[in-house]
């Protein structure tokens, strides 16, 4: 039993070393329906930012915009 425990301890140490060396490079997406019970705060800008990620929401001059492609915003609604 002792050699098995030593092997498990070494495996855990190796995994921890990998995590802290930041040697992992991957991403994983989880699809899930979200419902906001409280308010959703959207940042307000004077004009469209020059750099944005797809899916980012912003408000410019009372218009709700979403980044539809890299650094490009599309109006999706207006302020009520």
Is 0.85 surpassed by the pTM of this model?
no
pLDDT at 65: 94
Tokens at 42, concatenated: 């959207």
CA distance 45 to 57: 11
Q: Is the pLDDT of residue 3 over 90?
A: no
Mean pLDDT computed over 1-11: 88
Tell me: the pLDDT tens digits for 40-73?
A: 889 999 999 999 999 999 999 989 999 999 889 9
pLDDT at 54: 92
CA distance 20 to 28: 19
């Amino acid at each position: 039993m002792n050699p098995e425990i030593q092997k498990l301890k070494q495996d855990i140490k190796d995994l921890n070393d990998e995590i802290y060396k930041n040697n992992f490079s991957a991403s994983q997406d989880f699809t899930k329906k979200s419902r906001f019970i409280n308010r959703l705060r959207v940042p307000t800008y004077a004009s469209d930012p020059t750099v944005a990620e797809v899916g980012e929401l912003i408000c410019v001059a009372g218009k709700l915009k979403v980044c539809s492609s890299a650094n490009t915003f599309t109006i999706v609604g207006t302020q009520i």
